[in-house]
Structure 1
Amino acid sequence: MRASSTRRAFAVAMALCGAHAAAFAQDASAYPSQPLRIVVPYPAGGATDTLARLIATKLQESWRQTVVVENKPGASGTIGNDLVAKAPRDGHTILLGITALVQVPSLMPKLPYDVLKDLQPLVQVASTNSVFLVPASSPAGTLKEFVASAKANPGKHSYGSYGIGTSSHIQGSLLNLQAGVDLIHVPYKGAAPLLQDLRGGQLSSAFIDMATARPHLDSMKALAVTGPQRNKALPNVPTFAELGYQSFEPVGWFGLFMPTGVEAPIAAKFIAEASRIVHLPDVVARIESLGMTPGELKGDEFARVVKSDAAVYARIIKDANIRLE
């Protein structure tokens, strides 16, 4: 009797597992079963918004399902990030996040979500190096010469950024630490006034993302780039790593995330389709026209980069004592 009962229990358990697996497959085959929304935690019109709308259009075409882009700006992106982190785990709410996603937690410790626990990285859409630029009138032709001048003239050199706590601020602080210089930080509200003052010589230098810098490279000098390898648009400009500097390897990225807990088959289906879209010839051309590099990472690979970048930026922010004022 006992053996018979055990066999029946085992058969029931296997049947339930089979039904559960079938339900998973059915869920994935029916996905998306309702309109998708891609949340952009920044205002309309910027690079993040542009990429989100590009992906949304292609998803809508291939899946014959409405895809809406929702701009939820505010609080350094945390409003939109939190919305997605707390969204239903059905795969219909997606975040188009940027590198700030893993920088802000070290600047604003009391966030209502945990980036590494509550958001699941899916696909890297694009990436972009930062370029260290000086005015065309600068006597420095190399980073070594610029650093030597900054050391010889303490308090007379500056660097501009997009604001306190942004990548350009963090990178400038890192240069100060590693080069042993004291460049004065000048935060700006947006790229246009920063570029104007840099070209005019009111600023000594600035870290500017490649997408923003590209149209202006002829009117300034590029001394170095961030990232693990040189930028194709600037083949003669060395990386910071080549010049002996550390922790400048992370590049700015734009990536798609879902709330953690979405069923694996659904997440896998989205990853496969979004990755296919990123590599379409017309999408590649559009991303490159923005001065960016199409994303190569997906799934676990992208997740490892997100985690690694979070650790790098946390260390820099702590060492440089960067705080949101």
Structure 2
Amino acid sequence: MKRRSSILAAALLPFCLCAVSSAIADSYPSRPVRLIVPYAPAGSADIVARRIADEWGKALGGSFYIENRAGAGGNLGVDVVAKAEPDGYTIGLQTVSLAINPSIFPKMPYDTLKDLAPISMVATSQHVLVVNTKFPAHTTKELLAKAKANPGKYNYGSAGAGSTFHMSAELFKAVADVDIMHVPYKGGGPALIDTIAGQVDMSFPVLSAAAPHVNAGKLIAIGVTGPNRSPLMPNVPTIAESGLPNYSFETWFIVFAPAATPKPLIDKLNASLVKALNTPALKDRMIKEGFDPAPSTPAQAQAKLTKELSSWAKLVKDKGITAE
């Protein structure tokens, strides 16, 4: 009799856990949700997080607050999420660097696939190659000629090792076969500030971050990184059409929770984010700022992350890219 009771209890356990998880999801959120951005303010990830936070909060029936935890190419902030309580109150937003970092950092504080639970893809975006106003080249062809004639003389600023600034530039260097020095910063904002000031020669910021400075005449846009020209900068050619036909780079943004977060919470976060990203006002604003909303299911986000981990590992190995 005792054995039969134990067997029955074991059989009912999954149903009980499911019921508990569903009950937790029904009352969630009961307090603000912390959305960690692993870079300094004003970078592309920070911009995306702040754009979606309000509308996502409305769709979820709660609110989000942004916490910037810069360091180690984004690994510091992501690790905070990986080790947080899986209760839905700490989640993260990261760029394609989430798939790149395991290949360029010799030691990782977390396992990307084991310690994180993707919630949804958020958006994609192009970057743009910009130079300061004193730089002696205003086109991709001119820049390539200068770089080839002066190996190691010029430099570029990035948001940190493994950031999209970094990888778009390293891909540019690999395709063009030029030697341009990497100067990493703790976030895209500081890198742009020093590019404007002439402390570094160039950078590859996301379009939305660069556009105000380009429009104000503080930076010169040489080429966009994607396969097509951007409506934000219709007169700026793609790098591909400017002498590097094999070059193309676009970043993506993903939100995620700690791996053990109950599925009902993941599903609730996903459904509310998808609803927010399909809100006409938010969608229109993001597009105008250079971000293309790209919501997905958790499974699609997981598949995207898994595939990109593999493809970036190959490129990093083939080109010998490191976190320096």
TM-score with structure 2 setting the length: 0.76
Specify which of 173, 178, 181 is matched with residue 176 of structure 1.
Answer: 173
Q: Per the alignment, do residues 37 and 186 of structure 1 end up closer, same or farther by CA in structure 2, a change over 3 Å counting?
A: closer
CA distance in 1 between counterparts of 2:181 and 2:55 reads 44
Partner of 1:238: 238
1:93 paired residue among 82, 90, 94: 90
Instruction: Report the counterpart of residue 306 of structure 2 in structure 1.
Output: 307
Aligned length: 313
Q: In the aligned structure 1, how far is the partner of 2:55 from the partner of 2:267?
A: 17
Q: Mind listing any 5+ residue stretches in structure 2 that lack a counterpart?
A: none
CA contact (8 A) 1:43 1:72 kept: yes
Aligned to 1:158: 154
Which whole-Å CA distance do the structure 2 matches of 1:310 and 1:211 have between them? 26
Please provide the CA RMSD for this pair.
Answer: 3.8
Superposed CA deviations along residues 211-252 of structure 1, whole A, max 9, x for unmatched, are 222124454664443235442324462363994315x34x22
For 1:223 and 1:269, the matched residues in 2 are separated by 42
Contact kept, 8 Å, 1:154 with 1:181, in 2: the verdict is: no
What's the CA shift for 1:47?
4.6
Q: List per-residue Cα deviations over 1:87-131 (Å, max 9, x = no partner).
A: 222323211223333333333222220122211222233332111
- Is the 2:51–2:286 contact (alpha carbons within 8 Å) kept by the matching residues of 1? no
The aligned residue for residue 257 of structure 1 is: 256
Q: Distance in 1 between matches of 2:183 and 2:59?
A: 46
Paired letter, 2:25: A
Percent identity, please: 31
Q: Larger Cα Rg: Structure 1 or Structure 2?
A: 1
Unaligned runs of 5+ in 1: none
Give 1:96-115 correspondences, 5 Å limit: 96-115=93-112
State how 1:175-324 maps to structure 2 within 5 Å: 175-185=172-182, 189-197=190-198, 203=201, 205-217=202-214, 219=217, 222-235=221-234, 237-238=237-238, 240=240, 243-245=244-246, 248-249=248-249, 251-288=250-287, 290-324=289-323
Give the TM-score taking structure 1 as reference length: 0.76
One-letter code aligned to 2:260: G
Q: Is the contact made by 2:270 and 2:298 (CA closer than 8 Å) also made in structure 1?
A: yes
2:58 aligned to 57, 61, 78, which one? Answer: 61
CA contact (8 A) 1:43 1:49 kept: yes
Task: Provide closer, same or farther for how the CA distance between residues 91 and 161 of structure 1 changes in structure 2, counting only shifts above 3 A.
Answer: same
